Amino acid sequence: MAITELFLGFALYGAEWVMFVLIGCSILSVTIIIERAIFFQKMKGDFAGFVSELSQRLNSEDSLEKTSAWCAGQKLVEAQVAAVGLEGSSKPLKAAEDSMTATMISAKTRMDKGLTILGTLGNNTPFIGLFGTIIGIIQAFNALGGDDAEGGQVVMAAIAEALVATAVGLMVAIPAVIAYNLFLRATKTRMANSEAVSRIVATYLNRIH
């Protein structure tokens, strides 16, 4: 019983702090979404066109150094993987493959930046809002017990105010979840494309060695 009374005393202090937490989560979420959107926009490009041009260059009389420099000048992650592989053309094939793998791992680490936080916010801010709502409902029923004359109006107004916390929690969570899924999909697509490019380069290097 003492634990229940202790929590009741905590709840009666109010749930305003929950709203401040949610506002902080919202600012953090929006900041990450904007930063990630700019980051992925900078890597945007025509992958199909790049693969077609790369294949033509590899099958032409252009030197590998020239093709590697061309790849390095592209903003696509996949192009950077190809550039690293072609730079190591004079080394054993395994060394070139390892270099491309390391480049892909490094690129994935950069693309995954902030996604864990977005996923955490998307999964947990509704519960933070719900916690604020529960505290508000506890306050409402406590007020109902102390004011019989206007108890109904007091409790309805308090519950309506308490539900705002849940609504805010959902408003923070929904964009975070959508952005998380979009960025995760973009990362997986680029990693799959990079793997395809690394195989193209490895096949070419294996042929010339």
**What's the chain's average pLDDT?**
86
CB 39 within 8 Å of CB 109: no
Write out pLDDT tens, residues 161-206: 778 888 999 999 999 999 999 999 999 999 999 999 999 999 988 8
Write out pLDDT tens, residues 73-121: 999 999 999 999 998 777 888 888 999 999 999 999 999 999 999 999 9
Residue 1: Cβ-neighbour burial (10 angstroms; 0-12, 13-18, 19+): exposed
d(C-alpha 176, C-alpha 118), whole Å: 6
| pTM of the shown model | 0.84
**Does the pLDDT of residue 10 top 80, yes or no?**
no
Contact partners, residue 48, CB within 8 Å, separation at least 6: none
**Does the pLDDT of residue 34 top 90, yes or no?**
yes
**Does the pLDDT of residue 26 top 70, yes or no?**
yes
